[in-house]
Amino acid sequence: MKGKIILRWISNIITTVLIILLVSTVFVVISSRASGGEPSLFGYQLKTVLSGSMEPEIQTGSIIMIQSTKDTKDFKKDDVITFRTIENMIITHRIVKVENSGQRYITQGDNNNGPDVEPVLAQNIVGQYSGFTIPNVGYMLHFVNTKLGAALLLIIPGLLFLGHAVLTTRRVLRLVELQNN
């Protein structure tokens, strides 16, 4: 009798974990697609770091948290900002010089030999680096933003949940059979 209670508890825990995983996965995929590729929550966005220009502070393959901002003229030298380039690329670099009372910023990656060629216009700033980094998770987040990654992230937890449901149904049917005999 004790073994059945323990099995029931384990089954309930597994079911709960799979449901949470499935719901979380759906949230991440929908949030990523809605925000143009990066999840956003409470004014913060997660960005994937795909280059080593800010190493050693920010490692390649990390995810960083940036705080979205509407006031883009309030930054000062040494702030780390995320901005959109003319080619529509997202870059995170440190401000090395403020020009025109915060209308333009000269930026440079910590690991780069010189400043960026193009100054950053205030209206192109996406947000400011919050200092929060998780190493290596960016590779996974970048993969999730591909069609294959999004599909796998939805299909795998769904299949796990379905498999668990089939096993639980089998177990219940066996118990019903034993009780009828």
CA 21 to chain centre: 15
CA distance 156 to 168: 18
**Among 51, 53, 68, 130, which one carries the catalytic annotation?**
51
Residue 65 pairs in a beta bridge with 46
Helix axis angle, 2-34 relative to 147-180, nearest 10°?
160
CA distances from 174 to 49, 103, 167, 177 (A): 51, 72, 11, 5
31 is catalytic: no
SS3 at position 85: coil
User: In a 10 Å sphere around its CB, with 0-12 CB exposed, 13-18 middle and 19+ buried, how is residue 114 labelled?
Assistant: exposed
∠ CA 31-143-81, rounded to 5°: 65
Distance from C-alpha of 89 to C-alpha of 130, rounded to nearest angstrom: 20
Positions marked catalytic: 51
